[in-house]
Amino acid sequence: MQMLLGGERRGSRANARIEIRNPSDGDVIDEVPNASDEDVDDALRTAVAAFPRWAATPTHERSEILARGARRLLDEQEQLATLLARENGKTLHHARGEIASAARLFEKYAHEALRLYGVNVPGDFEAGYERDLIITRRYPYGVMVAITPFNFPVSLFSTKVAPALATGNVVIAKPSEETPLSTLRICELLHESGVPAEALQVLTGGGRRIGQRLMASPLVDLVSFTGSVETGQQVATQRARSITPTHLELGGNDPMIVCADADIDLVIEHAWFGRTLENGQCCAASKRFIVERAVSDDFEQALVERLARTTCGDPFDERVDLGPLINPGAARRTEEQVASTLAEGAELKVGSGKAHAAFFEPTMLVGVTAQMAIARDLEVFAPVFPVLRVDSVDEAVAIANASTMALHASVFSRDVGKAIAVAHRIDGGLVAINGTGLYKPDAIPFGGWKTSGSGREGLLGMASQYTQEKTIAVRNVLG
* Structure-derived torsion over alpha carbons of residues 359, 18, 153, 3, reported in degrees to the nearest 10: -170
Tens digits of residue pLDDT in 383-432: 999 999 999 999 999 999 999 999 999 999 999 999 999 999 999 999 99
pTM of the prediction? 0.94
CA distance 456 to 454: 7
**Strand-pair partners of 268:** none
CA distance 346 to 388: 10
What does pLDDT average to in each consecutive run of 10 residues of the chain (479 residues)?
36 70 96 96 98 98 98 98 98 97 97 94 94 97 98 97 98 98 98 98 94 96 97 95 94 98 98 96 97 98 98 95 97 98 98 97 98 98 98 98 98 98 98 95 95 94 94 94
Tens digits of residue pLDDT in 295-316: 999 999 999 999 999 999 999 9
Is 249 catalytic? The answer is yes
Residue 239: exposure state from Cβ atoms within 10 A (0-12, 13-18, ≥19): buried
Instruction: Let me know: does 389 contact 291? Beta carbons within 8 Å.
Output: yes
Residue 21 has phi, psi (to 5 degrees) of -110, 145
**Strand-pair partners of 31:** 19
Percent of the chain predicted with pLDDT > 70 = 97
Q: Which of 187, 259, 282, 283 is catalytic?
A: 283
DSSP string, 399-465: HHTTSSEESEEEEE-S-HHHHHHHHHHS-SSEEEESS-TT---SSS-B--EETTEES-BSGGGHHHH
Q: Which amino acid is at 27?
A: D
Q: The dihedral of CA 72, 75, 76, 81: what is its sign?
A: positive
- How far apart, in Å, are the Cα atoms of 274 and each of 255, 267, 352, 438? 12, 10, 21, 6
Is 38 catalytic? The answer is no
CA distance 211 to 95: 27
Parallel, antiparallel, or unpaired for β 133-140 and 120-122? antiparallel
Task: Supply the pLDDT for residue 408.
Answer: 98
Three-state DSSP class for residue 223? strand
* Structure-derived torsion over alpha carbons of residues 400, 404, 408, 411, reported in degrees to the nearest 10: 10
CA distance 37 to 174: 14
Task: Supply the pLDDT for residue 15.
Answer: 55
Instruction: Let me know: does 324 contact 316? Beta carbons within 8 Å.
Output: no
Residue environment code for 416-443, b if the CB has 16+ CB neighbours within 10 A, otherwise e: eeebeebbeebbbbbbbbbebbbbbebe
Q: Which of 188, 249, 335, 379 is catalytic?
A: 249
